[in-house]
Structure 1
């Protein structure tokens, strides 16, 4: 049974009614971020119930020493932790001498949370009766500024309902925080300095080992009936890691009293350490000059601009509409492409699970979203992120695998280019991630038409990856083919298998593609070619050896079933389909031992079908149908990355009911908590797959020969859907309904597209109906 307490709404995520059992899930679902920092939707006031406190700063991490029972040679030294950052949102509240705590109130009524995705703010309101019988109404609104990305703002309003009340607001900043997922119960921060003046406070803290220094700041204003009052703190409390102020207000019954709190972080990655406090003071001045209301208006305008390009509309299905907007909203909260040092963490700013910031998810799922909804430079920055870490990838292959000659193995999880995933089966067996990084270079050129990245930077990455595949493949005299042994494919429910089809296929493709790009750069970009060759010392003998490996790669195949086998031993398994699996055993990753999972036929996520998705034009639709029909019945979709691929392929095959079901699962994975783990944080990177399932699945968008192709298909549950694509600086809007599809163009020159194989020319500011 999936959770279903989120109310259907086109533009907001809404929860009504207070339920302590839902607090952690809602803390994830109502998370906010602005690309530079983010936070779970923790209560500002003290809450003694079960909660997962989490504030996060982009790029700030800690190398938590790997914890394993038995150390194997080659284990990463540490598992990167996205750090729980100092808390700036805290505002404890005392009413007539009693602390406000929703876990201990006599009653809580009319509790409501709203995450307004259209305008980029989060609010919470409720009525409560405290143990001392004082009844109050509370309304809180908070947001993280997109314009000033080191600034957050909170307005916390209280109205005493049944009596006059002495209200004490106790705002604080606190660096004495811990991570939920620390391996050794270590503290990750040391506090360096506490400073306050007037209504401002600053706590400067530094991370251990990585030495990121952060000033966490706050500025408070007290309002009585909407007007800022000249109220100073009656007490300033300094402790080892925190500063708190106390503001006392005598509120008459029915009178609104409020605190406005500006806060956030200035970080040593952006400012000199000695200027962190003065940088925070400048932001406070900027914020107080504008004021809360103006900042909120600016927030609405900034989000309107994002939605103008990235919105997808769905008519006639509120839950489907809410799902896609939630996904697009969270992707934009996590990464806006402003800072090329950053990447997209699988949990974004919503939780600590998965530690590191960069997985193959970025290349396989996220780049298409950012290419099509933003400027192409955003996607190029994501490619450059990997180029900048090429030396570390070469070190990784050399030091851990003994590879030579500049072979590069990119990490499964990384913050700075070093591998920091602590499971052996993933770190050195799930090598297919190298292929996704190469595929993203190809995909970027295919979509943007910008070849310049390849001679400037991309070719060096491709050569390092090709060298890796060449050395990782082994010649089998038994098969008279090259084999790749001891791997884990995208389906992590099979470890240490031989000849995972997807891995072998993408390895062959990488070798062929790199060979072709070397030839192209050699003939068309001579000076770049000479510069690269002087760095990588590549000769014709090595190139011919690559070609030989690619031409003779082994692919396991079943004549009986007429399909490529996921790996050599797949047919040795007891092939019981998911439909015949007892529902009480799901999800198997929470019910079964790892040994039982590995011996089962169950597929965590698209594996062979991932290859059919990437290389669709290498196969016929009949091939796809045969492989889909064979593998989908064994797929449990216990990876967030799985349903979107299956939705796209079901749509290609015209199986709209299946495509729709998979779409709902991917778009509402967290809202409906399909995998029973939303309390740990949201699945940010798979949200890009949700976008793909509409644009590439139902919209049927592909790029072939520098031209956009569409095959729009519409689920019967919808009246229509629309999306925009920024294709080579021409913005095309697609609007599909059961009556037909319209195309319009925001650009200067006509664009030729193909719809179901038929050429259509879209003129600027003109609507074409097909």
Structure 2
């Protein structure tokens, strides 16, 4: 991939010129979605070159058989995969009988644009066919935020130098196979194919999970902007249906096809009503018309940007990057459905199976609760509460008892479905992220009701896990946690990972603290929960023995907490001494060599310092940053944002800016040479954090909203908004001034250092 081919622009992702080598990367970068479904930016017309076709529906998955050569007790029985759904965007195009294929014809004036401000994708190009007919093609496509089961395409062909025949063949293809299928299986059963006048529906059902999906299309035509109709030929096969329309055009004529398509699925509708639902939904879109639906789309995105936008002046690449990240996060998750969550690739590819990871709790919660209504973040928390029973089952499979819960590293329905043992069994720190998310939510929103209603049960189950997972060490006279993998996955099966041990201690303390609060202030809820969980005072006392006596590996020589026991046995060689030809090491080195090296995939000790920054002084953070940052390769998308935030807090602005660009342009500049597989959606929330919590210095410890705005030398100014406890607060920082603007009808209390400032309703405070 040519990393410079994306044109810098404040509001759009733009590709000028057609390069076959960039096609799969662009399919990722120009992806579109609406929270309920999404798709890669595949061409509507045929493309015979390398391509990764992908359309995905939120919540629809298949339990693919785990592919391993051995089996152990407790091992996941399947690896859940988001399913590559039936394709509704397809439009075959022929000119005088010759098929339009950008891999075969001469292409010029190619331009692709993803307009993030208004939520649409467009393409324009000129193509010269083998008989030298020249056409100009324009397409615009979007997935509606207003009718989230519908997408729309307007595809126009203009005859530039000929009179002749143009043929459109819109189709539905139910025969799509996942790129990542372990055994090249087809995961769908075709139940029915129905045709209509200018509409059609394929009814499919997933194997095993039996999700029903009706994939529909409805088409209309315009000639030089006037509505026209044509006779059609129906082409029907076992897994597809297409309609063939032919028309004569004169030189200068433009023939346009408007195609509405989308999915109705059984999570939202009765199976027996899916075909009817598809027909009614598409008719509703058809009656509104393409132009009206597009105007609605623009207004809906304008509403999203009212709070979510971050404005950076003086640095176009930085501005483009943050909006790209915010845009993709909003395309992936809207917050309306607590049954859905955020996969690391969202709707842009199949890597990681489209499943839910700890990324949601550790990275995404702050973004959604600050840019949307608190109920959006609450739904993300409820997603985990709803799966508590499965988390307890997961722990039982590994031998834990008494209602201890181990939340899955990877899941679709609460069951663990990751197929690497060092992740499945060992990366148990994810349990801590579940509790930290509850703390983060309550602390930020002041909605304590979540804890007695839902959160306390989760805290108890997780505390029980940590209590049972810890081991008393006679040698150390402390509790230890053995055989784990921390966030840094370049070290497996290690003992006493600092981050994991610290989270375990904190989770227990937080659970006991809240049980005490419930006992004093929510007596009825306390009694109900104690009865439900059969929790006793003596059990809590045994928890606290673990928390009070937790072991943390420490180096007196370096005055830093160590990643884990024995870390200093490694040869410490800074990343700066690694030849560029050996980077990224996860693509150039053997796994054995990586595990024996000192190199850190992502923030690990520093992840803990970020989450519990209020418990460590600036000098301590600085010492740890200087020890660990030089040996971190940032080959996880989740790493640069944490380093950027901490770098600002210790006054390392050049490093903070460097890491901000890395996290924000991770995909746009393809730092890890993998963007063709899909985008890094969950880490995009970390990009938002890099500005708001990093440069903006926003913190919310002890329920106090505080700021310490700083600005990189490369920027003229920046501003962002947050929704804090029902108030909208705008923060503006330039090289010479800092302003806080309260856009709400009630006062907001903030802190700058130890100074309390009241930002009155609809007023501005300049600092």
Q: Determine the C-alpha separation between the residues in 1 that align with 2:690 and 2:2.
A: 21
2:267 is the counterpart of 1:269: yes
2:670 is the counterpart of 1:673: yes
Q: Residues 476-522 of structure 1: CA distance to partner in whole angstroms, max 9, x if unpaired?
A: 00111000000000000000000000000000000111011111111
2:588 is the counterpart of 1:591: yes
Q: CA deviation at 1:2?
A: 7.0
What is the match of residue 76 of structure 1?
A: 76
What is the match of residue 311 of structure 2?
A: 313
1:436-451 map, 5 Å: 436-451=433-448
The one of 412, 426, 429 equivalent to 2:426 is: 429
1:126-525 map, 5 Å: 126-233=125-232, 235-399=233-397, 401-525=398-522
Aligned length: 767
1:22-101 map, 5 Å: 22-101=22-101
Q: CA deviation at 1:75?
A: 1.7
2:345 and 2:354 in contact (8 A); partners too:
no
Structure 1 length-normalised TM: 0.99
2:731 and 2:739 in contact (8 A); partners too:
yes
Q: CA deviation at 1:356?
A: 4.0
2:391 and 2:407 in contact (8 A); partners too:
yes
1:214 and 1:265 in contact (8 A); partners too:
yes
Q: Determine the C-alpha separation between the residues in 1 that align with 2:521 and 2:109.
A: 68
Distance verdict in 2 for CA 1:74–1:704, change over 3 Å? closer
Q: Determine the C-alpha separation between the residues in 2 that align with 1:766 and 1:536.
A: 49
Q: Determine the C-alpha separation between the residues in 1 that align with 2:619 and 2:164.
A: 73
Q: CA deviation at 1:211?
A: 0.2
Q: Secondary structure of the equivalent of 2:718?
A: strand
What is the match of residue 632 of structure 1?
A: 629
Q: Determine the C-alpha separation between the residues in 2 that align with 1:202 and 1:227.
A: 27
Q: CA deviation at 1:756?
A: 3.3
Q: Determine the C-alpha separation between the residues in 2 that align with 1:165 and 1:737.
A: 59
What is the match of residue 723 of structure 1?
A: 720
Q: Determine the C-alpha separation between the residues in 2 that align with 1:164 and 1:748.
A: 64
Q: CA deviation at 1:357?
A: 2.1
2:682 is the counterpart of 1:706: no
Q: Secondary structure of the equivalent of 2:407?
A: coil
Q: Determine the C-alpha separation between the residues in 2 that align with 1:489 and 1:320.
A: 31
Q: CA deviation at 1:666?
A: 0.3
Distance verdict in 2 for CA 1:447–1:246, change over 3 Å? same
1:369 and 1:692 in contact (8 A); partners too:
yes
Q: Which runs of 4+ in 1 moved over 6 A?
A: none
Distance verdict in 2 for CA 1:37–1:257, change over 3 Å? same
What is the match of residue 614 of structure 1?
A: 611
Q: Secondary structure of the equivalent of 1:638?
A: coil
Q: Residues 702-723 of structure 1: CA distance to partner in whole angstroms, max 9, x if unpaired?
A: 1133221100000000000000
Structure 2 length-normalised TM: 0.99
Q: CA deviation at 1:747?
A: 1.8
1:320 and 1:667 in contact (8 A); partners too:
yes
Q: CA deviation at 1:176?
A: 0.5
Calculate the aligned-residue CA RMSD, in Å. 0.8
Q: Secondary structure of the equivalent of 1:299?
A: helix
Q: Determine the C-alpha separation between the residues in 2 that align with 1:207 and 1:544.
A: 48
Q: Residues 128-161 of structure 1: CA distance to partner in whole angstroms, max 9, x if unpaired?
A: 1112221110000000000000000000000111
1:79 and 1:356 in contact (8 A); partners too:
no
Q: Determine the C-alpha separation between the residues in 1 that align with 2:702 and 2:551.
A: 29
Q: Secondary structure of the equivalent of 2:221?
A: strand
Q: Which runs of 5+ in 2 are unaligned?
A: none
